[in-house]
Structure 1
Amino acid sequence: MDTVKNSFTDDEELKILQDLIAIHSVNDHEMEVARYLQKLLKKHDISTKILRFSETRGDLIAEIGSGKPVLGLSGHMDVVAAGDLSQWKTDPFILTNIDGKLYGRGATDMKAGLAA
């Protein structure tokens, strides 16, 4: 069985997640996330295109390889509003490690999935 070499160190992977969480992509404002991921994928020679719906809304499509079978992955780039920030123990837009658990807006749904 072939093994795939990871192109990123653990620190680089955390930096991607940190960067994504720092983007305030609250409902209908995901364009900055799309541009960030597009730039990251371009560094690794992965072709992308953004389907723009408005100045703040769009989808990012990335393709690797050709032929069949085709595997499609889907994820959203926006997050729900954080609400009353005084109710948060940490800033929701700063990736925070507490006792080995990562906290931040989108840390589990869906920015961690996008980072992966």
Structure 2
Amino acid sequence: MTDNRFPASVFGVGSEPDARFSLANERTFLAWIRTGLALLAGGVALEALGLGIHPGFRLAASLILLVAGLLTPLQAWFGWKRSERALRLGEPLPAAPLTLVLAVAVSAVGVLVLIGVLVR
């Protein structure tokens, strides 16, 4: 019997893991997607609402949020694939490489907004 599930690079290797682990991996994927949506919404809202923040700092913070929001679904997809494949092969779960990037991005946004409020 062949496995026709997508992607074949994940489902074509190893053995079927406990469904609870696959479902937990899917919930993590969805959490990353929600995070990406929140970052995008924050970037749009920050620029659209104005909020009395210096325009240059506001724009920079908005752009960082938008870029982070665009990168996060990529983290979600590739993280899901790598984790599901590791589960199927009985290997240790991989780390999420974009977590540091996102933490730095959100911190930078906080600093930009703070400075933007102080210098307006």
Structure 1 or 2: more strand by fraction: 1
TM-score, normalisation: structure 1: 0.31
Larger Cα-atom Rg? 2
Return the TM-score normalized by structure 2: 0.30
Of structures 1 and 2, the one with the larger relative CO (CA 8 A, separation 6+) is 2
